[in-house]
Amino acid sequence: MKLVDLTRPLDPQDIEKFPEKLRRAAATMVPEIEYQRPGFEGADAVCANFGCTREDLPDGEGWGAERLHINTHLGTHVDAPLHYGSTCEGKPARTITDIGLEELYVDGIVLDLRGMVTPNEGIEVAALEKAIANNGAPITPGCALMLRTGQEQYDLGDPKYFQYPGMTREGTLFLADTGAKLLCTDALGWDRPFPVIRRAFRDTKDRSTIWDGHFAGREKEVFIVQQIHNLAGLPKSGFKVGFFPLPLARCSASPARVVGFVE
């Protein structure tokens, strides 16, 4: 069994890679971490807790510890239906802790869309159909469809990282109707980029253009997973994938460790 880590690493120093004008959006992409290092802050904390001095500690060191400030949609993360609204399929939308682990360990299929998608534009249903046909594997109930759009070639410091192809309502419902439950992308977001959606609404005043890829999840329950990393490390099918979000009570999403299990 080979384990393939599909999770984007999280590093607070990534903020330095962001173009200045995009740093306001960094809270959903970069963690804030307060470090207690064993030889410094950790030693002070141990001394304060136990009434000792650094001379009493092994090598003058205390513990290592960290305090995190994160968004629930940080990095590689799983969206629960609550993220799309308070109802789903006419019922109360499930939270991240309402989703059972058995729903998050499933067959995986990589849909290779490279060369069939355009930055900043919606992914056409025809492209999805072609990618499914090219893969050839049967889509099993509840499985994960993992979109490889080609965004893997860009780093956070590259403006093209933020100019990704995104999904529309039609594309999302098409994938949901196949029976797949986890809809995943290697792009920063599931929908088209926010500035693209904003311009589309400004120019047309068509409310159906607003976040239509995600809002489709109100009609058909799916779990959307964004910022999948390292799809190149997977075969196109014939593997299992596990999505392991933190069990954050009553939340609409959670960062997840996503792992491919390849025989």
Residue 36 in contact with residue 66, Cβ under 8 Å?
yes
In the chain, the domains with their CATH numbers are 32-69 (no CATH), 77-262 (3.50.30.50)
Taking only the tens place, the pLDDT of each residue in 132-166 is 999 999 999 999 999 999 999 998 889 999 999 99
Q: 199 exposed, middle or buried (CB, 10 Å; 0-12, 13-18, 19+)?
A: middle
Rounded CA-CA distance 68/35 in Å is 9
Angle at which helices 125-135 and 169-177 cross, to 10°: 30
Residues (pLDDT < 70) of the chain are none
- The model's pTM is 0.95
Spatial neighbors of 191 by CB under 8 A, at least 6 apart, are 166, 167, 168, 197, 211, 212, 213, 214
User: Whose CA is closest to 106, among 219, 189, 225?
Assistant: 225
Q: Which amino acid is at 215?
A: F
* Model pLDDT, residue 22: 75
* Model pLDDT, residue 71: 94
Q: Which amino acid is at 152?
A: E
Handedness of CA 15, 254, 223, 143 (dihedral sign): positive
Token duo for residue 39: 């030889």
Rounded CA-CA distance 75/41 in Å is 27
Rounded CA-CA distance 154/162 in Å is 9
Q: 144 exposed, middle or buried (CB, 10 Å; 0-12, 13-18, 19+)?
A: buried
Rounded CA-CA distance 142/178 in Å is 9
* Model pLDDT, residue 242: 98
* Model pLDDT, residue 244: 97
Percent composition of the chain: helix, strand, coil (DSSP 3-state, to 5) = 35, 25, 40
